[in-house]
Structure 1
Amino acid sequence: MGKEEQQIGYVKYSGKLVQDGYMDARKSAQALLGVDEAVRFFVLQQAPELREIDFEFPVKVKKGSWEIVIGGILLAYGVKAAQKMAENDFKDIGIKDVFKKAISAIQWVIRIGKHMGDLEIKKFENVKFKDNNNLIGLRNSQGEYLYVPKEFLEFYVSTKPALLKKVSEVVEEERSLIVGLYQGEELVEEVLTRRHRQIFTHEKEEVENLLFPELEHGQEVVLEGELSRGNEMTNTMGLGYQGHVLTAVPEVGSIVRYKPSLFLRCKMHGRVSREDEKGRLDARRPKIIFNRIEPLESEDENQSLFTKNI
């Protein structure tokens, strides 16, 4: 019997910190508990009647990378759950299918979290639809879309933001989290690295990691840099400033009026915003709400200024 038939999927940590298959005992216990909580949550989302029984499911920790294998003898351990499901409306759905969908739901939570940058975002604007409305496109702050199956979006919306906190806290620079699921002959993996950990652990960015901490929320500024991009769909522009590109949003109107200044060095007049997508004033990267762009170079010396009064 092949590996794909022996197991449903896995949650593992991979990297230099676990290359010999070892991990701190407390972190190992935390990871095991976190996996149990997450899988159990999505199992109960599908079959809430299982709350009435204390069902078990097996995991096996493997060496090489620290890996929790889910499956194998699942049917033997899940006999009580299978019997309970058969009493209700799940006669045609096996306990194995329920657990596979639970692992897939964990993958989708990670996928959506990385895409949106915040697990507390549960309402979505400017959505798109595909496949007879079975795929829902979620737009992030960069204007990018991720298409999510309707069922798994419903799972995501029902998920508490801290569901994956325990398993995510174990992630470090040299220890990534990988959630794998066998779907027929195909192995599908979703990876969580240190880069996105804070989305799932809800850690606050350290003050020293703030980009341009001297630019405080609400501060009136005049910044000099190159107007490097413009996006009419999101109505934003990019200001190249001290090695970074800051998102700039017109105080009123469309960016179209400012297009003649694209790719020129300019002075941007406006105010600083540290507001994030949830309305908190602790965004790491500042945005500029501008009301005037003053070109500093032009082929035409008589080129006029572009202001909000145009």
Structure 2
Amino acid sequence: MPVETEQYEELGFVKYSGKTLIDGVIDAGSAGSALVGLDEAVRFFNSQQSPDFSTFQYDVPVQTRTGSWEAVVVASAAIGGAFALGYAKKAGEKLAENDFKDLGLKDILKRSMSALQTLAKLIKHTRRSRNWDRVRIEPSLGTDTVLVANDNGDELSIPIEYFRWYQQLPPRLLVKMTSVIRADRVLTIGVVRAAGVEEVTIVEEEKSLFNQSQEDEYEEALLFPELHHGAEAKLEGRLIRGSEASNSVGLEYMGHVINCVPAHGNIRQYKAALFLHCKVEGKITRHAKNRFVADRRPTLMVEKVTPLEIDGQMGLFPG
């Protein structure tokens, strides 16, 4: 009697290819780094979709295959079986108690792989792995996306939801995966979509873009020294991002982004003003991080936001 095998659906993958990997053989250290990096990235984006993913134990299911060396994120197509019992059943039952009753784990994993691939595209496009507040960001008309322009003026469309997740990105999230890249070994991150497979490839010359450390932040002098601690300020600029996790929005002001925190309440009160040119009023603090050392970048404790143009865009925050 034949043994029943588990059926899987491929959602996305990371693949290393080159002349030395034709037979799918790779050193154990590289394979381990790649798999750990993939696991960490998928878990981060899972947790952005629901904090529940940070509170229970689960596994990220992958298959490896040769031809190159490839790790494929999969979801089970079976109702029973080892995968459903060992992963989907336990995690699914936990999620059913919370926010994802109508959204399958396959959908969550697929969105995480899509966010991972889009992040790689964003880093290649802007040539930076953080500090995207220093490039031009605009809302995209009629869609839930933003357009991110690089130094050449080329634009990349990013889902607003993904861009919000990227504001919470751990430092060097993709370094374990990109560290495996060599002169003769390129990394491809792919997502399986209805229209086909969408890929982005990272070569050795781009490897350093994914390893920009937090320490290279400009530290020389205070930014906007005239905005001293405790001063009342009225600033005009565009609200370009928001984070409910940190309860803050970013104000694009004179080529920089100033972090703005409501003096009272939640940032949802500013939903209608997101991506609009506004006048923002409040008190400056230079000690948001350390009460003994002045922050280089001021933070504005917001009392009032007044849009100075008509809202023609959809907001970042759901609901």
Q: What residue number does 2:163 align with?
A: 153
1:36-115 matched pairs, under 5 angstroms:
36-73=39-76, 75-76=84-85, 77-115=87-125
Aligned with 2:30 (options 16, 20, 27):
27
Output the CA distance in 2 between the equivalents of 1:61 and 1:126. 39
Output the CA distance in 1 between the equivalents of 2:166 and 2:106. 21
- CA-CA distance at 1:143 after TM superposition: 1.9
Over the matched positions of the two proteins, sequence identity in percent amounts to 34
Q: What residue number does 2:130 align with?
A: 120
Output the CA distance in 1 between the equivalents of 2:183 and 2:191. 24
Aligned residue pairs total 200
- CA-CA distance at 1:50 after TM superposition: 2.2
Output the CA distance in 2 between the equivalents of 1:92 and 1:161. 32
CA contact (8 A) 2:25 2:69 kept: yes
The amino acid that maps onto 1:197 is K
Q: 1:125 to 1:65 in 2, by over 3 A?
A: closer
Question: Match of 1:101, SS?
Answer: helix
Deviates more, 1:178-187 or 1:39-48: 178-187
Q: 1:75 to 1:178 in 2, by over 3 A?
A: farther
The amino acid that maps onto 2:30 is K
String of CA shifts for 1:208-241, please: whole Å, max 9, x gaps. Answer: xxxxxxxxxxxxxxxxxxxxxxxxxxxxxxxxxx
Output the CA distance in 2 between the equivalents of 1:135 and 1:104. 14
The structure 1 segments of at least 4 consecutive aligned residues displaced by more than 6 Å after TM superposition are: none
Aligned with 2:196 (options 183, 186, 190):
186
Question: Match of 2:103, SS?
Answer: coil
Aligned with 2:173 (options 163, 179, 182):
163
Question: Match of 1:6, SS?
Answer: strand
CA contact (8 A) 2:129 2:211 kept: no
CA contact (8 A) 1:10 1:68 kept: yes
- CA-CA distance at 1:202 after TM superposition: 3.3
The amino acid that maps onto 1:163 is L
The amino acid that maps onto 1:71 is V
* TM-score, scaled relative to structure 2: 0.59
CA contact (8 A) 1:108 1:156 kept: no
User: Which residues of structure 1 form unaligned runs of 5+?
Assistant: 204-310
Output the CA distance in 1 between the equivalents of 2:116 and 2:135. 23
What is the alpha-carbon root mean square deviation over aligned residues? 1.9
1:14 and 2:17 are equivalent in the alignment: yes
Question: Match of 1:123, SS?
Answer: helix
Output the CA distance in 1 between the equivalents of 2:50 and 2:84. 16
- CA-CA distance at 1:72 after TM superposition: 4.2
String of CA shifts for 1:225-261, please: whole Å, max 9, x gaps. Answer: xxxxxxxxxxxxxxxxxxxxxxxxxxxxxxxxxxxxx
The amino acid that maps onto 1:169 is S
Output the CA distance in 2 between the equivalents of 1:87 and 1:168. 37
The amino acid that maps onto 1:49 is D
Output the CA distance in 2 between the equivalents of 1:111 and 1:126. 16
Aligned with 1:173 (options 178, 183, 191):
183
CA contact (8 A) 1:18 1:64 kept: yes
CA contact (8 A) 1:56 1:78 kept: no
String of CA shifts for 1:130-187, please: whole Å, max 9, x gaps. Answer: 2425221112112221111111111222212300000000011221111111112421
- CA-CA distance at 1:75 after TM superposition: 4.2
Output the CA distance in 2 between the equivalents of 1:166 and 1:156. 18
Output the CA distance in 2 between the equivalents of 1:159 and 1:21. 31
Higher Rg: 1
Question: Match of 1:127, SS?
Answer: strand
1:141-290 matched pairs, under 5 angstroms:
141-202=151-212
Q: What residue number does 2:296 align with?
A: none
* TM-score, scaled relative to structure 1: 0.61
